Chain A
Amino acid sequence: MECRPAVTMRRLVILLVLITRIAPSSAGERAVVLVVGAASPVQHLDSIEVRKLFLDFRVTVEKRLLHPVNNFSDPQLRDAFLQNVVAMTQWAYDQRILSKVNNEGRPLPLELESLSTVLHTLEADPQAVSFAWLKDVVGNPRLRIVRVLWQE
């Protein structure tokens, strides 16, 4: 079996960071994280790239086009994401992504209202990128948390 200490160490560090950032929080505090499938080529996306991706710009990693998946399973998660990450109201966001279809022929970001469907999509499509509450994805071996997007 191949030993990959660097990768293991990196995962450990991310986990420790997440734990140290979240553990002191009270039960009322929540975090929105960027999440991909375990086989995803995405290792890091900065905030500009995340915003571009969900505003339906073309974003590639290792020459592979990323597919944004809007996790609208929880209205509070949707609002937190749109306000704090995309920095738009839902109306403005809708106008922007609909214009992308109309002007550039870009497919809309996939919009899902079931958490299990979101998780299944991430597992099945290595180019899919979504967001979720930390509590919904932490510890799932088939997913990988890329970064914390917003914390209450």
Chain B
Amino acid sequence: MPVTLMGARFDYSGLHKRRRVKPRRHTDSGASIIRAQILEEVPIMIRRCLAGALVLLASAAAAGEADPLQHQLLAFGSAEVAHVPKSNLTAIYSRPEVLAADVLFTLQRGPIKLFAEYELTDHESDLERFQIGWEPSEHMVLWLGRFHQPASIWNSEYHHGQYLQTPITRPGVENWDDDGGVIPQQFTGVLAESNWNLPRGRVLRIAAGGGLTPVLTPEGLKSFDLLRPDADEHRFGYQARVALMSDQFSESGAGLVFAQEKIAWRDAPPIPFPMLRYVDFRLAGAYASYVHRSWKLQAVGYYIDAQLKGTSFRDSDLLTGYVTVEDALAHNLRVFFRREDSSHLSEAPYLRLFPRWPTARSTFAMRWDFTRRHALTAELADTYTATDHYMEYRLQWSAALL
């Protein structure tokens, strides 16, 4: 039944009736067959590249005897309870309790480094990042492996480090692929990051990456898994971020982001889009941060254009974003407010694939760092999705351990 909310008209009648009948889909074009053959080779190619990079890492590390081997093991732990009256928690990508440990491991010798992140929770575990890096200079690092795409402002700053972010939740538009996110977040490929000193102390930071995009499944976006590699239907995407910072130590700055990806279906297309071949996804965004003493303000805006190739539906043109403000009431007590909103929802059939995505939300959080590297956070959120409106109450302990 079509639903109208906040000016958006959505039809979800087929979303809960999807059939998983066809694990592989080929069109009759020669190009598709060739692409499928190439993609079948991708896991092997990735494994060979990573193995080669590991050999190079070992040999470079052995050659660089002047630099001792450095390593770091760090874990971000968290425990969270959530209460959402008048709503089914499982229907909003949330759980009443979450226990999580995000383990980071880094190994560096001279210009070569290895970086891995493994997240373990009471309901899933995943190798989130696995990157082999080369730093040819202090201004640049080149990575090969699985990384978080640089066009996400929030995730590039906090990743999975719950302790590092003041609120408990992230903005809906920055949700992870497997958490109801609408923007592909995790890629396997290459990533280059650089920073350049400019006159008057300013710093230009540039990041660009390219690799295998996630695929769409009935459960949402699913990124390429290095531990269980299956390149079926994964296509390629590119992202970039350019930021100008007021100085090399400051968090104040502004930037632009861009991404272009092709997102295919792994299973049968959803009933609302039976002829869908893939989604041609483009993102452009801008952001600005200003930090003054204990105050921190941030504004982020994204324009999303998603074309449902093979269907007669119009392009999905969507504007979404958020503003945040936080301050310290005392040296160990911080308050945080965030407002998320979206527009042109009625012009975005792409969102029918993500009916539980929060289209608007106001979030208030208070965080108490009760001892070094341990914090308690309480959060209250007033959330709208395309079909629902509910309040969320959360309490979390988070810490940096080891």
Which residues of B are found within 8 Å of A60, using beta-carbon distances?
Answer: 138
Residue A105 contacts which of B113, B158, B248 (CB distance < 8 angstroms)?
B113
Query: Is the beta-carbon distance between A98 and B161 smaller than 8 angstroms?
Result: yes
B146 CB to closest chain A CB (Å) equals 13
A31 within 8 A of B: no
Which residues of B are found within 8 Å of A90, using beta-carbon distances?
Answer: 372
**A65 and B135 alpha carbons, distance in the complex (Å):** 12
B371 CB to closest chain A CB (Å) equals 11
Residue B249 contacts which of A55, A58, A127 (CB distance < 8 angstroms)?
A55
Which residues of B are found within 8 Å of A101, using beta-carbon distances?
Answer: 72, 74, 104, 106
B149 within 8 A of A: no
Chain B CB within 10 A, most for which of A52, A95, A125, A127: A95
Query: Is the beta-carbon distance between B138 and A105 smaller than 8 angstroms?
Result: no
Query: Is the beta-carbon distance between A94 and B67 smaller than 8 angstroms?
Result: no
A26 within 8 A of B: no
Query: Is the beta-carbon distance between B164 and A99 smaller than 8 angstroms?
Result: yes
Which residues of B are found within 8 Å of A102, using beta-carbon distances?
Answer: 74, 76, 104, 158-159, 161, 164
Query: Is the beta-carbon distance between B68 and A127 smaller than 8 angstroms?
Result: yes
Which residues of B are found within 8 Å of A105, using beta-carbon distances?
Answer: 104, 106, 108, 113-115, 131, 133
A120 CB to closest chain B CB (Å) equals 15
Which residues of A are found within 8 Å of B158, using beta-carbon distances?
Answer: 102
Which residues of B are found within 8 Å of A98, using beta-carbon distances?
Answer: 74, 161, 163-164, 373, 400
A147 within 8 A of B: no
**A51 and B131 alpha carbons, distance in the complex (Å):** 28
Residue B372 contacts which of A94, A99, A103, A125 (CB distance < 8 angstroms)?
A94
Taking A58-B135, A90-B372, A94-B400 as contacts, is the C-beta distance between A103 and B74 under 8 angstroms? no
A139 within 8 A of B: no
Give chain A's interface residue range (CB within 8 Å of chain B). 20 to 34
A101 CB to closest chain B CB (Å) equals 5
Which residues of A are found within 8 Å of B164, using beta-carbon distances?
Answer: 95, 98-99, 102
* Residues of chain B from 345 to 392 with CB closer than 8 A to chain A in the complex: 369, 372-373
**A63 and B248 alpha carbons, distance in the complex (Å):** 21
Query: Is the beta-carbon distance between B138 and A99 smaller than 8 angstroms?
Result: no
**A87 and B67 alpha carbons, distance in the complex (Å):** 29
**A132 and B113 alpha carbons, distance in the complex (Å):** 30
Which residues of A are found within 8 Å of B133, using beta-carbon distances?
Answer: 105
B193 CB to closest chain A CB (Å) equals 8
Which residues of B are found within 8 Å of A59, using beta-carbon distances?
Answer: 138
* Residues of chain A from 14 to 44 with CB closer than 8 A to chain B in the complex: none
Query: Is the beta-carbon distance between B66 and A64 smaller than 8 angstroms?
Result: yes
Across the interface, name the chain A residue whose C-beta is closest to B251: A96
B11 within 8 A of A: no
Which residues of B are found within 8 Å of A127, using beta-carbon distances?
Answer: 67-68
A 64-97 binary contact with B (CB < 8 Å = 1; else 0): 1101000000000000000000000111001100
**A103 and B141 alpha carbons, distance in the complex (Å):** 12
B235 CB to closest chain A CB (Å) equals 27
**A108 and B106 alpha carbons, distance in the complex (Å):** 10
A97 CB to closest chain B CB (Å) equals 10
Across the interface, name the chain A residue whose C-beta is closest to B373: A94
B 93-135 binary contact with A (CB < 8 Å = 1; else 0): 0000000000010101010011100000000000000010101
Across the interface, name the chain B residue whose C-beta is closest to A59: B138
Taking A58-B138, A94-B373 as contacts, is the C-beta distance between A103 and B163 under 8 angstroms? no
Across the interface, name the chain B residue whose C-beta is closest to A110: B70
B331 within 8 A of A: yes
B41 within 8 A of A: no
Query: Is the beta-carbon distance between A67 and B70 smaller than 8 angstroms?
Result: yes
B156 within 8 A of A: yes
Which residues of B are found within 8 Å of A65, using beta-carbon distances?
Answer: 67, 110
Which residues of A are found within 8 Å of B400, using beta-carbon distances?
Answer: 94, 98
B252 CB to closest chain A CB (Å) equals 14
**A141 and B210 alpha carbons, distance in the complex (Å):** 53
Across the interface, name the chain B residue whose C-beta is closest to A108: B72
A11 within 8 A of B: no
3 shortest A-B CB distances, which residue pairs? A105-B115, A107-B72, A105-B106
Binding site for B on A (CB under 8 A): 51-52, 55, 57-60, 64-65, 67, 89-91, 94-95, 98-99, 101-108, 125, 127
Besides A104-B193, A107-B72, 14 other CB < 8 A contacts? A58-B135, A58-B138, A65-B110, A67-B68, A91-B332, A98-B400, A99-B157, A102-B161, A103-B157, A105-B104, A105-B106, A105-B131, A105-B133, A106-B72
